A and B are shown apart, each in its own frame.
Chain A
Amino acid sequence: AQSVSQHNHHVILSEAASLELGCNYSYGGTVNLFWYVQYPGQHLQLLLKYFSGDPLVKGIKGFEAEFIKSKFSFNLRKPSVQWSDTAEYFCAVRTNAGGTSYGKLTFGQGTILTVHP
């Protein structure tokens, strides 16, 4: 079965620092990849998605992610974080494993980002 790994459970940064959150998945076929964010007290929101084409995708609030197929990775980046980026971030993958098209997503365990002002 496919799996998603987020290697950092908790990342602590100061404002203006650069961010990179790792995400690796285990599946050799076609994938759709997503990053979600959950701000304190809010519901889960889609940050960005990779469906096809350009492996560098840009999302909301200055976030971007790069799909590197050879590394089975989809790392999230932001050049300069803000205090308001404090949140939990989830990577997710959708595959065609099993021949279904029900759109099931497999999520990583999440990374908590704390940004100090």
Chain B
Amino acid sequence: SQTIHQWPATLVQPVGSPLSLECTVEGTSNPNLYWYRQAAGRGLQLLFYSVGIGQISSEVPQNLSASRPQDRQFILSSKKLLLSDSGFYLCAWKGPYNEQFFGPGTRLTVL
């Protein structure tokens, strides 16, 4: 069966520091992968999606970037974090009926 992992689970970083969040998927090949940010009372906002290695599409302009160095690896990065980057970040992959399956998420606090 397919599983999705995210790490770290929580992260506290100072403003201006770099960021790297990792997502890996097991049990499927060439999945569509997604990064979301979840804010309280605002649902989920799609940040990036990828249909294959090296292919990244950005949904909203922001301080973050994404990369897909391997088929089942999706990375969310920043060179310099802002306070507004704090949030809960979710990775997801697309199933056969266009549903998406989510990882456990990373809680990022920027101080």
Residues of A within 8 A of B (CB): 4, 9, 32, 34, 36, 43-46, 49, 51, 90, 92, 94, 102-110
Contacts and interface: CB of A to CB of B under 8 A. Distances in A.
Interface residues of B, number: 23
Prevailing SS type, chain A contact patch: strand
The 8 closest A-B pairs by CB, nearest first: A107-B43, A44-B102, A103-B94, A107-B44, A109-B43, A43-B104, A32-B98, A94-B98
Contacts of A104: 34, 46, 49, 59
A44 B102 CA distance: 6
Contact of B43 (A49, A94, A103, A110): A110
A101 to B, nearest CB: 9
Nearest to B42: A109
| Most chain A CB within a 10 A radius of its CB, from B32, B43, B51 | B43
Contacts, number: 58
A105 B45 CA distance: 9
Contact of B41 (A9, A46, A92, A102): A9
Contacts of B99: 32, 34, 46, 49
Contacts of B100: 34, 46, 92, 103, 105
